[in-house]
């Protein structure tokens, strides 16, 4: 049978007990661990104090870690979550031993909460229900958490498509913001997952008195393959967004070149007209057309003629 009990506001325990098996498995799920929760773990399981301190909710590890302690395995892993339109890391501490598995986190990983609730209602579908092994329960948790990365990759793909549309239809600022947002999310995903492959390979070597080693290796090798596939997809997305960035830069440079070309031609046309007007603005004797009744309009006509001639020259040279 599968029994659930709430030990405190932050601690829940799920007992997985298959009547056909002589073993019994306990999953203790802790959210926002503080000194009270750490004291509970210390008293019940006698874990090392440095491992317990690493599980406090206000402590965030800069990198994933795995330690084989006396009687249990302690592990810190990071998983990506989507928050405020960006991907950030969320941390989980695992204590894995014979007959128990403990997860400590800040309740900010939806996939973990969903799976815990799923286990309460669907005990018969669990691999860990068949053999009641913490090794298999760990596999099932990691399997859900790793597969939860795929929707985040899909979000990146959708954003990449939006950026591609923006490059050819919207403002340069919107395009630049979109490219930077996707790049940041891809880099964050890679930073979060970069050490998963090595840790998962280490887990393939785990031993269990309940589950055969070949079966453990088979399941955890599947997680390694998922990790590789995710990394390959992120590499592809990175190449695509880099290409789009180059395209955006090329379009931006082309627009800037066109603007500079227009301004240059405008300046070249205006300069002789300004010079011509300045000459006729001088107050000197015997200035041509000064006393002519249509002098103003003649000067305007000459200036317009010069401008038209210069435009024709630019067009013939294909500068415009």
Q: Which long-range contacts (CB under 8 A, 24 or more apart) does 245-249 make?
A: 245/179, 245/183, 247/167, 248/167, 248/172, 248/175, 248/176, 248/179
Of residues 15, 27, 190, 12, the one with CA closest to residue 107: 12
- What is the CA 317 to chain-centroid distance, rounded? 50
Coil vs helix vs strand at 26: strand
Angstrom distance (rounded) from CA 12 to CA 104:
11
Question: So what's the pLDDT on residue 320?
Answer: 66
User: What's domain 2-252's superfamily in CATH?
Assistant: CorA soluble domain-like (3.30.460.20)
Of 169, 95, 160, the closest CA to residue 134 belongs to 95
- Structure-token match 């269990």, residue found: 208
Write down the pLDDT at residue 262.
81
For helices 149-169 and 134-147, give the axis angle rounded to 10 degrees.
Answer: 10
Q: Phi then psi for 283, rounded to 5 degrees?
A: -90, 75
pLDDT value of residue 131: 75
Q: Please give the pLDDT value at position 2.
A: 45
Average pLDDT, 10 consecutive residues per value, the chain (320 residues): 80 84 85 92 90 87 85 92 89 92 93 90 76 86 93 92 82 78 91 84 74 80 90 93 88 82 83 80 71 77 84 78
Half-sphere exposure of 82 (CA within 13 A, CB side): 14
> Cα(65)–Cα(74) distance, rounded to whole angstroms?
8
Kindly compute the dihedral angle of the four CA atoms of residues 237, 238, 240, 241, in this order, to the nearest 10 degrees. Answer: 110
User: What pLDDT is stored for residue 171 in this prediction?
Assistant: 65
Q: Following DSSP, what letter does each residue of 101-139 receive, concatenated?
A: EEEEE-S--HHHHHHHHHHHH-GGG-HHHHH--HHHHHH
Q: Where are the domains of the chain?
A: 2-252, 257-316
Burial level of 16, CB count in 10 A (0-12/13-18/19+)?
A: buried
Helix (H) or strand (E) holding 260: helix 213-280
Both tokens of 47, joined, read 């874990």
Cα 81 from Cα 79, distance rounded (Å): 7
Architecture of domain 257-316: Up-down Bundle (1.20)
Residues with Cβ within 8 Å of 217's Cβ and at least 6 positions away in sequence, in order, are 204, 205
């Amino acid at each position: 049978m599968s029994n659930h009990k709430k030990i405190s506001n932050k601690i829940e325990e799920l007992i997985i007990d298959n009547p056909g098996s002589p073993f019994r498995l306990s999953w203790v799920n802790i959210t926002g661990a503080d000194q009270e929760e750490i004291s509970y773990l210390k008293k019940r399981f006698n874990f090392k104090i440095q491992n317990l301190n690493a599980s406090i909710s206000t402590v965030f590890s800069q990198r994933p870690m795995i330690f084989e302690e006396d009687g249990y395995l302690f592990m810190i892993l990071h998983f990506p979550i989507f928050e405020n339109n960006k991907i950030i890391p969320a941390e989980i501490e695992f204590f894995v031993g014979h007959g128990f598995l403990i997860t400590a986190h800040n309740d900010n990983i939806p996939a973990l909460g969903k799976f815990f609730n799923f286990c309460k209602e669907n005990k018969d579908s669990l691999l860990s229900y068949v053999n009641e092994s913490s090794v298999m329960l760990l596999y099932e948790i990691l399997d859900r958490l790793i597969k939860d990365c795929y929707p985040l990759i899909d979000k990146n793909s959708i954003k990449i498509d939006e950026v591609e549309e923006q490059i050819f239809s919207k403002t340069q600022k919107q395009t630049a913001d979109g490219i930077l947002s996707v790049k940041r999310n891809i880099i964050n995903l890679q930073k979060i997952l970069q050490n998963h492959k090595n840790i998962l390979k280490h887990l393939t070597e785990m031993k269990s008195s309940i589950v055969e080693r070949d079966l453990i290796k088979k399941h955890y090798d599947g997680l390694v393959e998922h990790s590789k596939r995710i990394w390959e997809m992120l590499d592809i997305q990175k190449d695509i967004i880099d290409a789009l960035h180059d395209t955006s830069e090329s379009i931006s440079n082309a627009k800037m070149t066109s603007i500079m070309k227009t301004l240059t031609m405008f300046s070249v046309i205006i300069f002789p007209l300004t010079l011509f007007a300045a000459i006729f603005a001088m107050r000197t004797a015997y200035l041509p057309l000064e006393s002519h009744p249509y002098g103003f309009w003649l000067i305007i006509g000459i200036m317009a003629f010069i401008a038209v001639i210069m435009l024709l020259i630019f067009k013939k040279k294909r500068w415009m």
